[in-house]
């Protein structure tokens, strides 16, 4: 009897690998953004995306496809936080160099 691929209908939470790429974390979240009547935008997460090894493309894995066909890709929140942490670590040293010159 042939094995069946079991897939889940749920998009993985942050930090959780996706079904088709074991051990690899997504680089982007995919959203459908809809404008509301009250001037607000409503974001619905519809999938994830991975950078290719050569960084010249993406693989997009969707759990649903928006009727209007528009998808917005955003860096994952954990990547944004990592970048902020790195910049905050270098900011005090850069500020000191601006104010007092490079350390000797």
Tens digits of per-residue pLDDT, 3-28? 444 434 444 455 555 565 777 889 99
The predicted structure's pLDDT at residue 81: 63
CA distance 64 to 9: 9
The predicted structure's pLDDT at residue 92: 59
**Strand locations in 55-103 (E):** 58-62, 72-75
The predicted structure's pLDDT at residue 54: 93
The predicted structure's pLDDT at residue 74: 95
DSSP3 helix / strand / coil % (the chain, rounded to 5): 25, 25, 50
CA distance 103 to 36: 53
What kind and span of H or E run contains 97? helix 77-100
pLDDT in tens, 48-97: 999 998 999 999 999 999 999 999 999 988 766 666 676 666 655 655 55
């Amino acid at each position: 009897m042939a094995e069946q691929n079991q897939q889940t209908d749920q998009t993985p939470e942050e930090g959780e690998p996706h079904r088709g790429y074991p051990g690899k974390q997504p680089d982007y979240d995919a959203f459908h953004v809809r404008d509301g009547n009250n001037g607000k935008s409503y974001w619905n997460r519809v999938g994830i995306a991975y950078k290719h090894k050569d960084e010249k493309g993406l693989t997009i894995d969707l759990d649903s496809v928006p009727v209007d066909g528009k998808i917005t890709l955003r860096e994952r929140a954990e990547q944004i936080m990592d970048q902020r942490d790195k910049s905050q670590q270098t900011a005090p040293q850069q500020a000191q160099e601006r104010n007092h010159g490079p350390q000797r």
